[in-house]
Chains A and B, each alone.
Chain A
Amino acid sequence: MQRRQFLQGLALGSAGLMLPVLQRSWISRSEAATDRAMVVVMLRGAVDGLSVLVPYGDDVYEESRPTIAIPAPGMPGGVTDLDGYFGLHPALAKLLPLWSAGKLAFVPASGSPDGTRSHFDAQDYLESGTPGVKNTRDGWLNRLLAEVRQQNPIQAVSISSTTPRILAGAQSIASVAPGKRATRKLALDRAFVAESFAELYAGRGKIGAIYQEGRQAREAIMAGLNQEMQKADNGATSVAGLAGDARRLGQLMQRDRRVQLGFMQVGGWDTHINQGAAKGQLANKLRLLSSGLVALSDALGSRFNQTVIVVMSEFGRTVKENGNRGTDHGRGNVMWVLGGGVKGKKIYGKWPGLDRSTLEAGRDVPVVTDFRDVLQPILTQHWGLSDVQLARVLPDYGSKNSISGLLK
């Protein structure tokens, strides 16, 4: 108990709440800048995409999963039909309004062209944006930030306690600690501490400027979360867990338009054992995730219209369930794309079906769509990157099969 408190004590949850809110001039000043935004949600541990976007129309699906298949539409605990072939897991029902409104799309049989089944390597490639190349130092989100950089310290915000791989790189980012620590007051936030350091770092050239930038980022984030906290205290929704994180991020982006890139991560998808079906382990996680995505969308408010949210996971899971009522590491997964500008209510990319002859190594959904094929339209249309810029964000990517029509 003590140890835990104390670990938290040393940890920097990147936001506090007690400082007087500094309404800074930038909020009104930067209106000229673009409102476009993006949030990447990384599901670490390989979510079972076949339980998310369920190919109930394929007989092989149910045959392969005697205890963990999600029943067909109309059955108890059945999927919600989307297009007569695919259905959505019942635990994701909260997302149906977004689907119906045409704000949510899926890309099945997608993932990394590199065949690794190691969580670590596969996540690494998804985040570096360079499948098969181990030595890429920075992440593609950081490289995107370089292309769209504006002089503001909170353009990219990560909900994480350390810098994630996808945001590693030359561009500075701001961070908010996940969970309750997000709104924890820190030693550094007390006015007399902040003022003392400001004095110490004044006129110190580069390091002084970096300090300034950090301070400003922190104050902006604290101001945003301060409001969020007050709302939360009014009993709107819980601030705990993923939904809390998502809502904080959405509020921040809604309140301060300078925040353009957001990142969140959720672990615990590695369901080798007792995965469950309509109910159970995975269903519970999916329910939390859908609550989180809805919270994010709601909190973004009007800005949802300028935002693209991408949900991805390192690889899919085996078509057949294993001897422990779970699934093992597979290949192709499903990517989710949400946002006001998304041409949703649609399933993109080619779907090879579950026939054994089309499965990779006779067991896994193959990767038909490169994850970069999904990012490509987002980077070029949504962010307006040129070919040259795209090649800097996704080097060695040919973009021959990019998904077309994904965005309005």
Chain B
Amino acid sequence: MKRRAFVSLAVVGGTAWLSGIRPAAAATPDPKVLHVLNRLGFGPRPGDVARVSRMGVERYIQEQLSPEKLREPANLQRQLNKFATLKLDSGDLVREYRRPGSRDQRRMRRRMLRRKRRQVVEEARSARLLRAVESPRQLEEVMVDFWFNHFNVYAFKGLGGLWIGSYERDAIRPYVMGNFREILGATAKHPAMLLYLDNWRNTAPDSPGARGRFKGLNENYARELMELHTMGADGGYTQKDVETLARVLTGWGLANYRRSTDTGFYFDARRHDVQPKVVLGQQLTQTGEQEGEAALDLLASHPSTAKFISFKLAQYFVTDNPPQRLVDRLQKRFQATQGNIRAVLATLFQSDEFWDERYFQKKYKTPYRYMISAVRSAGIDIKNPKPLVGALAQLSMPLYGAQTPDGYDQVEKAWLNPDGMMRRLNFAVLLGGGRSRLEMRQRKPIEPGQLSDTAAMFLQPGTLRIIASKRRGLRSGLILGSPEFMYH
């Protein structure tokens, strides 16, 4: 009976849109407009294409590079305010975590903290997804994804997940477009990282503080600091450098109940290795905690670091195997600006490679991006983000659930597989059919017309013709599950 109401999908002026349901907004979207919405953000929401077309891609890029000038909507703020654990103080958590007591008391406390961890992780996940979908500061959200992955911590190693909200809030978010040295230092000293890569136990074996579980060197963090966070596996450091760096970072650990600090970080000089040290051929002249700071300076300003970060950014924003010329240009900019991330991004967004149409719509979406772009496309006003948390786990990319320190892969090879494809399509059909309950309402299917200036814009005419021939209730699911929408 609704069949008559549906006219047909049509192709006008080279632009696909869905007619008969809602008048098409933009006639012919500029591919560049779609490109910036896809790459600087998680794809268009309804109205975005028209807005960016009006303001121009240049201004949109400038706007996104200065997120502090964009106001987060009150509605989003209100929702975020509901998450009490997002406000937990990192230092308080350390005090609670390390409170002394009898064996039994500590055991009981651990059980209690495990429950608390669950709440922290749940709320942090909900908050992140809400922001990714609804924040107008899309580039900022994209960079949170990038940097969190780069400095990955896993929420379910021990009780480290207690700090997952604080880690993102205090060590990642403030610096996503700042200076690389700042984000490096912030992650190095954050309890979440200290626990995840074990540096809180890293102790000079012969030091006065070496006893109990603080007996010896632990190289975990030092190794990943070089291999994953700064120079890259081929960055030109040796095993000896890793060992020495581990000695440099002895004593970088957690505060405790008596010696509490605001951040939870505490440098324990009694566990620090006081021998002189040479890292990357450089004699370190500072001592104590400052020695570690100097080592971080050294790493952050190393050419291999500039190269490694540049490669990752180019891969993330342009293509899985980025052209060397682009990486070189970003590296130069990184070095010239002492690791100014905003400047490197600006260079990236001006590059010929970024605007090379060969790369448009060719990068396979990670499950995270896929899900967020689908929800954005429909313009859903999320009242309840929890379903998305569960769905993302079903798509094999649970948030804060990457176990290895290198985080989730960002390339097609890691995600384009049969099982993953089936999971995506099932998600698309459920979301399209209004069975996601994101709005806390029963069965409100997404009208295909809702997607006319978002997801449907990316579809080829042939795809739209096929979809037009299917039942109305399935069309939105098909649009969101189309081969074209798997890429951005």
Give A contacts to B, CB under 8 Å.
2-3, 6-7, 9-12, 14, 118, 120-121, 124, 134-137, 153, 161-163, 165, 170, 172-175, 186-188, 192-193, 196-197, 199-201, 204, 206-208, 210-211, 213-215, 217-218, 272-273, 322-324
Contacts and interface: CB of A to CB of B under 8 A. Distances in A.
Contacts of A134: 220, 223-224, 404-405
B156 A9 contact: no
Contacts of B228: 135
Contacts of B463: 200
A3 B386 contact: yes
A175 B466 contact: no
| Those 7 A-B pairs whose CB atoms lie nearest each other, nearest first | A214-B418, A187-B429, A120-B157, A213-B418, A172-B417, A188-B426, A6-B437
A185 to B, nearest CB: 11
Contacts of A272: 107
B423 interface: yes
B36 to A, nearest CB: 24
B135 interface: no
Nearest to A127: B403
A153 B429 contact: no
B430 interface: yes
Contact of B158 (A10, A118, A174): A118
A14 B419 contact: yes
Nearest to A272: B107
B170 to A, nearest CB: 23
B483 A201 contact: yes
B419 A214 contact: yes
Contact of B396 (A6, A162, A323): A162
A163 B483 CA distance: 23
Given A10-B394, A10-B427, A197-B425, A172 B418 contact: yes
B478 A10 contact: no
B103 A323 contact: yes
B115 to A, nearest CB: 15
Interface in B398-432: 398, 403-406, 409, 413, 416-419, 421-423, 425-427, 429-431
Contacts of A187: 426, 429-430, 433, 435, 477
Contacts of B483: 200-201, 204, 207-208, 211
B31 to A, nearest CB: 20
Interface string B40-58: 0000000000000000000
Interface residues of B, number: 56
B394 A188 contact: no
Interface stretch (B246-254, B280-288, B467-475): B467-475
Contacts of A6: 387, 435-437
B27 interface: no
A192 B433 CA distance: 14
B296 to A, nearest CB: 21
A101 to B, nearest CB: 36
Nearest to B197: A134
A188 B406 contact: no
30 contacts: A3-B386, A6-B387, A6-B437, A11-B391, A12-B426, A118-B157, A124-B403, A124-B404, A134-B223, A135-B224, A162-B396, A162-B398, A163-B396, A170-B413, A172-B417, A172-B418, A186-B426, A187-B433, A187-B477, A192-B471, A193-B477, A196-B466, A210-B416, A211-B483, A214-B417, A214-B418, A214-B422, A215-B418, A322-B103, A323-B104
B419 A163 contact: yes
A201 B422 CA distance: 12
Given A6-B435, A134-B224, 11 more contacts: A3-B386, A6-B436, A11-B391, A12-B423, A137-B404, A174-B418, A192-B470, A211-B425, A214-B419, A215-B422, A218-B422
Nearest to A137: B404
A200 B422 CA distance: 14
A200 B427 contact: no
Contacts of B148: none
A12 B429 contact: no
B486 interface: yes
B391 A324 contact: no
A208 B418 CA distance: 10
A210 B417 contact: yes
Nearest to B390: A7
A292 to B, nearest CB: 23
Contacts of A3: 384, 386, 437
B166 interface: no
Contacts of A163: 396, 419
B418 A210 contact: yes
A196 B384 CA distance: 30
Nearest to A2: B437
Nearest to A9: B435
B393 interface: yes
Contacts of B182: none
Contacts of B474: 192-193, 196
A273 B478 CA distance: 51
Contacts of A207: 416, 421, 483, 486
A163 B401 CA distance: 12
B305 interface: no
Interface string B207-238: 00000000000001001100110000000000
A7 B467 contact: no
A211 B154 CA distance: 31
Interface in B431-470: 431, 433, 435-437, 463, 466-467, 470
Given A14-B422, A162-B398, A215-B422, A135 B390 contact: no
A189 to B, nearest CB: 9
B393 A162 contact: yes
A311 to B, nearest CB: 22
A299 to B, nearest CB: 22
Interface in B153-188: 154, 156-158
B38 interface: no
Given A165-B403, A201-B483, A11 B394 contact: yes
A120 B154 contact: yes
A202 to B, nearest CB: 9
B419 A200 contact: no
B482 interface: yes
Interface in B360-405: 384, 386-387, 390-391, 393-394, 396, 398, 403-405
The listed residue with most A CB atoms (<10 A of its CB), out of B158, B396, B422, is: B422
A188 B436 contact: no
Contacts of B394: 10-12, 161-162
Nearest to A163: B396
Given A161-B393, A196-B470, A201-B483, A211 B421 contact: yes
B192 to A, nearest CB: 14
Contacts of B398: 162
B292 interface: no
B390 A11 contact: yes
Contacts of A273: 107
Contacts of A193: 429, 474, 477
A200 B484 CA distance: 10
B481 interface: yes
B422 A12 contact: yes
Contacts of A162: 393-394, 396, 398
The residue in B425, B427, B470, B477 that gathers the most chain A C-beta atoms within 10 A of its C-beta is B425
